[in-house]
Amino acid sequence: MTVAIGVIGTGMIGTSHIRRITGSLSGARISAVTDADLAVAKQVAEDLPDAEVFDTGQALIGSGRVDAVLVTSWGPTHEEFVLAAIAAGKPVFCEKPLATTADACRRIIAAEVAADRRLVQVGFMRRYDAAYRRLKAEIESGALGAPLIYYSAHRNPAVPSTYTREMAIVDTAVHDFDIARWLLGEELVAIRVVPAKPNSLGNGLQDPLLMIVETESGALVNVETSVNIRYGYDIRGEAVGEKGTATLAGPARVPADWRERFTPAFDTELQEWIDAIASGAEPAGPSSWDGYAATVVCDAGVKSLDTLDRVPVVLGAKPALYERSVR
Ligand code: NAD
Ligand code: ISE
């Protein structure tokens, strides 16, 4: 079966995913596209002979031309499209964040649990990166002893003028929260944000930030976001255990941006998603619960940025649906 994918949001990452699906991946085709700016969607469709342009995301999701939905629009629009895809019984891959508020994520979880079927996968692509997978295997081998601290540096060369103070947490550190949960196999339970001396190249942005995040077992995750670092896109990680440490292997030279750093991870995440749909399996990648957990940490982080206090992260009970498919 060739999976017919409809894409909602043909901006930067939407077109990048379209190119990988049509250029380097197998088993899928782009059958539909839409964008809030229809002229952009039409332009993208010119290179996609099989794709129909839809006026809205809702119309695209409802179309018989679409087997599965790829949501790559702006974060605040994700909830509406993910809920519509669940209602239509169609698998949906949603770029991070799953949704921008914890309540919106809860509504998605409620809809998926009611469907009693995993239909949603969230775009936390770091889980598919070879270096992160090696680091996880090393932690899980027990060679380091119990993990005590995980250092996670997330450095962007620059950000657009539309990037706000909170985005260092909700748009950037959200990846670090997810990867720390995945590497350590634990939920995050509290966060404290500490702003550093501002980078004078940051146009008044509160940048860099340090975040001290606590896990259920009492281990610490130390996240650094620096989004005006200029020299490149530098992603670092180090796990400190009771009797050893392990470092996230980096590329030979610092990449220019997130696309260059994570291209193989994006390829693997989407290929595995396509393969699961083609075989009728539930997606095995990051779930709605993972998207929710990361968003709740972000909410607490934004509160801490405002108050400089330690803010607890309260998740509530995890539905059984999400116990059966953690990769
Ligand atoms: P972008 O602004 O380049 O593209 C978003 C597109 O969505 C725009 O063309 C916009 O017109 C369209 N859009 C907005 N609202 C819409 C609606 N209601 N219906 C249809 N289209 C709509 O942004 P981007 O950088 O491509 O980011 C898109 C999403 O991908 C964001 O959630 C972002 O956080 C995520 N992202 C993830 C990664 C990653 O590393 N996984 C990297 C970049 C972006
Ligand atoms: C962007 O949206 C991403 O998701 C990138 O992976 C991240 O590094 C960047 O900070 C975000 O703005």
194-201 contacts, C-beta under 8 A, 24 or more apart: 194/308, 195/305, 199/226, 199/228, 199/229, 201/228, 201/230
The DSSP bridge partners found for residue 57 are: none
pLDDT digits (tens, 9 = 90+) for 236-274: 999 999 999 999 999 999 999 999 999 999 999 999 999
Ligand nearest the Cα of residue 235 is 2
Distance CA 54, CA 30 (A): 13
Per CATH, domain 127-258+291-320 is 3.30.360.10: yes
Counting as low any pLDDT under 70, the low residues of the chain are 324-327
Q: For ligand 2, atom 10, which residue shows the shortest CA distance?
A: 172
Which pLDDT score is estimated for 1?
A: 85
Asked if residue 129 has its Cβ within 6 Å of ligand 2, the reply is no
- How many angstroms does the Cα of residue 97 sit away from the middle of ligand 2? 10
Quote the percentage of the chain above a pLDDT of 90: 98
Q: Specify the pLDDT at position 142.
A: 98
pLDDT of residue 327: 43
pLDDT at 150: 98
Domain ranges of the chain: 3-123+264-287, 127-258+291-320
Confidence at residue 255, expressed as pLDDT on a 0 to 100 scale: 98
Q: Are strands 209-215 and 188-195 parallel, antiparallel or unpaired?
A: antiparallel
Instruction: Supply the pLDDT for residue 324.
Output: 59
CATH T-level topology, domain 3-123+264-287: Rossmann fold (3.40.50)
Residue 162 CA, ligand 2 centroid: distance in Å: 13
Residues of 159-187 as b/e, b for ≥16 C-beta within 10 angstroms? beeebeeebbbbbbbbbbbbbbbbbbebb
Q: Is the CB of 9 under 6 A from ligand 1?
A: yes
